Amino acid sequence: MSTPVSIKAEKRQALGSRANARLRKTGLVPAVIYGHKQEVQPLQLNKKELVSHLNHGSHVFNLQIGDKTESVLLKEVQYDPFGQEVLHVDFARVDLNERVTLTVAIELKGDPKGEKEGGVLQQILNELEIECVVTEIPDVIAVDVSNLGKDEQLHVSDIKLGGSIRVLTDPDLVVAKVEEVLEQIETPVEGASEPEVIGAEKKEDAEAASAETQK
């Protein structure tokens, strides 16, 4: 379960995409916190420290901002087009006793017995949307697939979570399956274009405008 992680943050003075780009070059990550009918607060955090906590599945943080501490829930992480560099982070203020909705990564555990029968394990769903008390948020949702046989599927409804956790994802969706996979050669479709990558610049400019409105 998620124990709040303490991390230092500083108020961010310069706003907008250009200011944030300069900030990232110094090893910091721009962020904002909002919610509980309080004003939006632009922040900056140490990138290396933040990424370390993200890699461990942390969702709840105690942000130490000067002499004040804010309990917050991680709401969104924006990455670069390659999914490697953290560009911006959104946090929402929370009471540790309130119920929240969020998505948590699914981690498959065990070796399916179906693999010994010639099947291959495929993970179809990578995360679940859940609702629970803040202090009961799991770092990951571990799912045992060792009993999954060839040509069998594991559905969301098969995942049992305890405590206050309620699964909101469609119970009929397939999480994982074991089946024989035939190799296929994909033929590119003529005239098909690459998907558009939406960067963080528009959001950062909007953030700057929002902060100016709050003044």
Per residue in 173-208, pLDDT (tens digit) is 999 999 987 655 555 666 655 555 445 555 565 565
* pLDDT tens per residue, range 53-107: 988 888 899 999 988 999 999 998 999 888 889 999 999 998 888 898 999 999 9
CATH number at residue 66: 2.40.240.10
3-state secondary structure 103-163: EEEEEEECCCHHHHHCCEEEECCCEEEEEEEHHHCCCCEEEECCCCCCCEEEEHHHCCCCC
Contact by Cβ (8 Å): 20, 32: no
- Is the model's pLDDT at 111 over the cut of 70? yes
Q: Based on the fold, state whether residues 80 and 120 are members of the same structural domain.
A: no
Tell which wins on pLDDT, 157 or 55.
Answer: 157
Q: Is the pLDDT assigned to residue 26 strictly greater than 90?
A: yes
Regarding whether 91 and 10 lie in a shared domain, the answer is yes
Q: Is the dihedral of CA 99, 8, 33, 90 positive or negative?
A: negative
Question: 118 and 166: one domain?
Answer: yes
Domain boundary among 95, 125, 150: 95
Residue pLDDT, tens place only, 113-142: 999 999 999 999 999 999 999 888 888 899
193 located within any domain: no
Residues 14 and 90 in one domain: yes
Question: In total, how many domains does the chain have?
Answer: 2
Same domain as 112, residue 88: no
Residue 204 lies in a domain: no
Show Cβ contacts of residue 127 under 8 Å, excluding neighbours closer than 6 positions: 103, 104, 105, 106, 141
Among 44, 79, 95, identify where a domain stops. Answer: 95
Asked whether residue 194 is assigned to any structural domain, the reply reads no
Token couple for 174: 């397939």
Is the domain of 91 the same as that of 20?
Answer: yes
Domain boundary (55, 80, 95) is at 95
Q: Closest by alpha carbon to 130, among 172, 102, 95, 107?
A: 102
- The domain of 21 spans 5-95
Q: Indicate the burial class of 176 (C-beta count within 10 angstroms; 0-12, 13-18, 19 or more).
A: buried
**For 26-30, 116-120, 210-214, which range has the lowest pLDDT when averaged over its residues?**
210-214
At 97 the pLDDT is 86
Higher pLDDT, 146 or 209: 146
Query: Is pLDDT at 32 greater than 60 in this prediction?
Result: yes
CA distances to 95, 102, 123, 131 from 134, rounded to whole Å, are 8, 10, 27, 9
In a domain, 205, yes or no: no
Whether residues 111 and 149 fall in one domain: yes
The pTM for the full model equals 0.65
Compute how many other C-beta atoms are within 10 angstroms of the C-beta atom of residue 148: 25
User: Which DSSP string do the residues of 26-95 spell out, in sequence order?
Assistant: TTEEEEEEEETTEEEEEEEEEHHHHHHHHHTT--EEEEEETTEEEEEEEEEEEE-TTS-SEEEEEEEE--
* 26 found inside a domain: yes
What is the reported pLDDT for 107? 95
User: Would you state the structure tokens that stand for residue 48, as one six-digit string?
Assistant: 């290396």
The answer on pLDDT for 31 being more than 90 is yes
CATH number of the domain where residue 111 is located: 2.170.120.20
